[in-house]
């Protein structure tokens, strides 16, 4: 077993906190070694090729190694909610979600539980788990840790939050975020290769422009979605923040020039300020949603670069109503 999986001296993520999580000490992520999860259910609010018609079998883990000041899932990222479970119970959850006709198993914020998830996945796959597994992450990862998951993960769903080290330090205390996130995404693409779907590409060759193509792939729940499902590949998400369109443009340019059509880019408008969590006195610039004009600037820039493999959201995505109830359902 790779030394990076040793929770007695935790160096799983770039925080390198060296906590003895195996002895009950909590790391930067706020978690010791026992798995904590806050919800396991069919989830309709991913990209259409992930949620499909029946939903993505999503497991929301408690804790997080990022600590973003604007976190929309703060009850679980701060470990406020969550139930302790064993790797054996996690395996059962995977198989139950498959029985419920989930399109895939979707691991949300899994970084700090990689060793335990790895164990549960290996056992589940030997006991009949056949649907794709999605790794849904902030990307503040070590490529070395991701390599221990090779062959277990089919689809990576990483964020690329910041290009600027100034922004990543200010909002996530992670000045080195882009360095690690870009290396992590490179490893993800190496593992999965180019996107593979159950049928034809997501949008028709009859679509005349990249913007129309992206519009046909709006990232919203759609019970009538009949398109193909992703079987393998990488979809990189970028959440546009208010006042940060220049940073967003740098991220889109980096992704497109680095990977062209080997990945999909999901440009997200759903930033929602949470008054009970966000300190608007310290971060007044984040106390409003992204304006339609700001979002259009980023989408139009992607189109101007030639991005075709992508997803966009409509304005209704910026709402607390799209944030799940973290009540330990399914755990």
Give the pLDDT confidence of 116-132 residue by residue, as tens digits. 999 999 999 999 999 99
How distant is the alpha carbon of residue 312 from its chain centre?
Answer: 16
Residue 223 confidence class, pLDDT cut points 50, 70, 90: low
Q: Is residue 274 part of a domain?
A: yes
- We report the CATH number of the domain holding residue 42 as 3.20.20.70
How distant is the alpha carbon of residue 237 from its chain centre?
Answer: 7
Residue 319 confidence class, pLDDT cut points 50, 70, 90: low
**Confidence at residue 220, expressed as pLDDT on a 0 to 100 scale:** 47
Q: Is residue 192 part of a domain?
A: yes
Mean pLDDT value of segment 2-10: 94
Residue 79 confidence class, pLDDT cut points 50, 70, 90: confident
Q: How far apart are CA 117 and CA 127, in angstroms?
A: 15
Instruction: Give the C-alpha distances (Å, rounded to integers) separating 203 from 49, 191, 207.
Output: 11, 25, 7
What whole-number percentage of the chain has pLDDT above 90? 83
**Confidence at residue 264, expressed as pLDDT on a 0 to 100 scale:** 98
Which helix H or strand E contains 89, and what residues bound it? Answer: helix 87-99
Q: How far apart are CA 56 and CA 50, in angstroms?
A: 6
More confident residue, 100 or 214: 100
**Confidence at residue 323, expressed as pLDDT on a 0 to 100 scale:** 77
**Confidence at residue 205, expressed as pLDDT on a 0 to 100 scale:** 32
Domain that holds residue 185: 3-322
**Residues forming beta bridges with residue 101, ordered by sequence position:** none
**Helix, strand, coil % over all residues of the chain, rounded to 5:** 35, 15, 45
Phi-psi domain of 248 (left: phi exceeds 0; alpha: psi -120 through 50; beta: other): alpha
**Confidence at residue 271, expressed as pLDDT on a 0 to 100 scale:** 95
- Mean pLDDT (the chain) is 91
- Map tokens 């479970």 to a residue: 85
Q: Is residue 293 part of a domain?
A: yes
Q: Is residue 158 part of a domain?
A: yes
**Residues forming beta bridges with residue 107, ordered by sequence position:** 59, 135
Which helix H or strand E contains 210, and what residues bound it? Answer: helix 210-215
Q: What pLDDT digit, counting tens, does each position of 103-112 carry?
A: 999 999 999 9
Q: Is residue 310 part of a domain?
A: yes
Give the range among 137-146, 174-183, 276-285 with minimum mean pLDDT: 276-285
Q: Is residue 331 part of a domain?
A: no
Mean pLDDT value of segment 232-248: 98
Mean pLDDT value of segment 22-51: 97
Strands 83-85 and 264-268: unpaired
Task: Quote the number of domains for the chain.
Answer: 1
Q: Is residue 195 part of a domain?
A: yes
């Amino acid at each position: 077993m790779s030394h990076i999986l040793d929770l007695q001296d935790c160096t799983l993520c770039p925080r390198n906190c060296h906590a003895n999580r195996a002895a009950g000490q909590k790391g930067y992520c706020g978690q010791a070694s026992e798995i904590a999860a806050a919800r396991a259910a069919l989830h309709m609010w991913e990209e259409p090729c992930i949620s499909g018609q029946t939903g993505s079998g999503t497991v929301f883990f408690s804790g997080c190694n990022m600590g973003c000041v604007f976190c929309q899932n703060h009850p679980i990222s701060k470990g406020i909610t969550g139930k302790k479970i064993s790797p054996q119970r996690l395996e059962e959850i995977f198989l139950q979600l498959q029985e419920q006709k989930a399109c895939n198993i979707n691991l949300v914020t899994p970084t700090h539980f990689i060793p335990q998830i790895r164990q549960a996945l290996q056992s589940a796959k030997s006991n009949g788990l056949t649907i794709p597994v999605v790794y849904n992450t902030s990307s503040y990862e070590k490529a070395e840790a991701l390599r221990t998951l090779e062959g277990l993960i089919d689809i990576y769903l990483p964020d690329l939050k910041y290009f600027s080290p100034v922004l990543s330090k200010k909002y996530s205390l992670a000045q080195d975020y882009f360095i690690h996130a870009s290396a992590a995404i490179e490893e993800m693409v190496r593992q999965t290769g180019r996107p593979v779907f159950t049928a034809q590409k997501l949008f028709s060759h009859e679509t005349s422009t990249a913007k129309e193509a992206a519009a046909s792939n709006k990232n919203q729940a759609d019970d009538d979605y009949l398109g193909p499902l992703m079987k393998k590949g990488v979809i990189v998400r970028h959440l546009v923040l208010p006042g940060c369109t220049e940073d967003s443009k740098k991220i889109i340019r980096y992704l497109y020039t680095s990977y062209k059509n080997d990945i999909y880019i999901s440009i997200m408008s759903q930033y929602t300020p949470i008054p009970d969590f966000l300190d608007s006195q310290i971060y007044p610039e984040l106390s409003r949603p992204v304006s339609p004009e700001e979002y259009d600037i980023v989408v139009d820039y992607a189109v101007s670069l030639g991005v075709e493999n992508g997803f966009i959201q409509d304005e209704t995505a910026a709402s607390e109503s799209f944030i799940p109830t973290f009540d330990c359902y399914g755990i």
